[in-house]
Amino acid sequence: MRYRRLGDSDVEVSEISLGSWTYGAGVERDRTEACTRAAFDAGINLFDTSNVYGSGAAERAWGEVLSDFKRDSYVLATKVFFPMSDTDRGLSREQIHKQLDASLERLQTDHVDLYQCHRPDPETPIEETMEALTEVAEAGKVREIGFSEWTVEQIQAGLDVPKTKKFVSSQPQYSAIWRAPEAELIPFCAEHGISQVVWSPLAQGALTGKYKPGEPPPAESRAAGGEMNRAVGRHRPDELLEAVQRLVPIAEGAGLAMAQLALAWVLHREDVASAIIGASRPEQVHANAEAAGVELTQDTLNAIDEALGDVVVSGPRLANFAAAGVTHR
């Protein structure tokens, strides 16, 4: 495993990180523990969750599992924004304090290393949000702060609030298929010392090659349940899946599995600190972790671009559940 610095902070994170979107809910407790222990064995130190995953179930599951490990041996990240009840949502001062305390209780810890705004909240003055994030950091409950799927305008507004904690991380959707962040987000963040910790680097499984054009998805896959990668949804599925199949000989030529090729592609950018993987089996964790440190040649990168062609999504995109705009006091 290799490690990269998280923005301007002194936090170092593993190039591959483990996400918990399905833990505590879709993935049962014993598999959650097996995958988490496999992550430690593979050198993964960044564990990313959110209060909304399983309505707190993912945090509770990791609170139990991670209690077996020394607190300073891993970097723990969680998020706030999405509804936790009919009245609890957003990035107000009240919600940030309330939801963080609830997350810490579920996670069985006194602090998180990275607290992220899961989406922007244009209904709350940006000054209130940034001041609240600073308050929880000064209280020792949060080491660093970040955001997920904010626009450049919103990030700049947050950075402009005086005497407040500075963002060190951004969590966008990013993969060889979904390259929207390259247009504005990644260059802007690079100028301001903000790293990318990317989600869906495998395009929710599409880039593993397991979905074949003209064939139903494998019975055990997410797509079999009607949940297909959002990037796939922007194209005719067979068109995208045919393009992905053109990556197979490229991966073989590089001596990599398809998932490893996709993860190495994301990590070829120095401003990507870590790629978040999901796993329901420990062997998936170990296989994906092997992408760390892989350096793709320029010829391989060019071949990937040629193979994917027009199915690549580029240009700025507003993420699902995100809203543009900024409110000031």
Percent of the chain with pLDDT over 70: 94
SS3 200: coil
Q: Using alpha carbons, list the distances in angstroms from residue 206 to 89, 180, 201, 252.
A: 31, 17, 10, 17
Are 195 and 144 in contact by the 8 Å Cβ rule? The answer is no
Pairing mode, strands 142-147 and 75-80: unpaired
Tell me the pLDDT tens digit for each residue of 148-171.
999 999 999 999 999 999 999 999
- Based on the number of CB atoms within 10 Å of its own CB, is 87 exposed (0-12), middle (13-18) or buried (19 or more)? exposed
Q: Following DSSP, what letter does each residue of 110-176 receive, concatenated?
A: S-EEEEEESS--TTS-HHHHHHHHHHHHHTTSEEEEEESS--HHHHHHHHHSTT-PPEEEE--B--S
pLDDT value for 223: 53
Phi, psi of 206 (to 5 degrees): -60, -35
pLDDT value for 167: 98
Nearest to 89 by CA among 51, 60, 48, 146: 51
Predicted TM-score of the model (pTM):
0.94
Question: What are residue 277's DSSP bridge partners?
Answer: 18
pLDDT value for 170: 98
Is the pLDDT at 219 greater than 80? The verdict is no
- Tell me, what amino acid is at 163? K
SS3 12: strand
Tell me the pLDDT tens digit for each residue of 274-304.
999 999 999 999 999 999 999 999 999 999 9
Split at pLDDT 50, 70, 90, the class of 231 is very low
pLDDT value for 25: 83
Q: Count of alpha carbons within 13 Å of 17, Cβ hemisphere only?
A: 33
pLDDT value for 161: 98
Strand residue runs (E) in the chain: 3-5, 12-14, 16-19, 46-48, 75-80, 112-117, 142-147, 167-170, 195-198, 272-277
SS3 251: helix
Is the pLDDT at 235 greater than 70? The verdict is no
Question: Over the chain, what is the mean pLDDT?
Answer: 94
pLDDT value for 2: 98
Residue 103: CB partners within 8 Å, gap ≥ 6?
Answer: 51, 59, 78, 80, 112
Mind telling me the catalytic residues? 53
Split at pLDDT 50, 70, 90, the class of 192 is very high
Residue 54: how many CB atoms within 10 A of its CB? 20
Residue 213: how many CB atoms within 10 A of its CB? 14
Is the pLDDT at 220 greater than 90? The verdict is no
Percent of the chain with pLDDT over 90: 89
pLDDT value for 226: 47
- Helix or strand holding residue 58 (H, E): helix 57-66
* Domains of the chain, CATH where assigned: 3-204+264-295 (3.20.20.100)
Q: In whole angstroms, give the CA distance from residue 277 to residue 40.
A: 14
Q: In whole angstroms, give the CA distance from residue 213 to residue 184.
A: 32
Task: Extract the tokens encoding 131.
Answer: 């001041």
pLDDT value for 230: 47
- Tell me, what amino acid is at 168? V
**Diameter of the chain by CA atoms?**
56
Tell me the pLDDT tens digit for each residue of 65-112.
999 999 999 999 999 999 999 999 999 999 999 999 999 999 999 999
Split at pLDDT 50, 70, 90, the class of 218 is low
pLDDT value for 216: 73
Check residue 212 and report its DSSP letter: P
Tell me the pLDDT tens digit for each residue of 240-286.
999 999 999 999 999 999 999 999 999 999 999 999 999 999 999 99
Split at pLDDT 50, 70, 90, the class of 228 is very low
Tell me the pLDDT tens digit for each residue of 19-73.
999 998 889 999 999 999 999 999 999 999 999 999 999 999 999 999 999 999 9
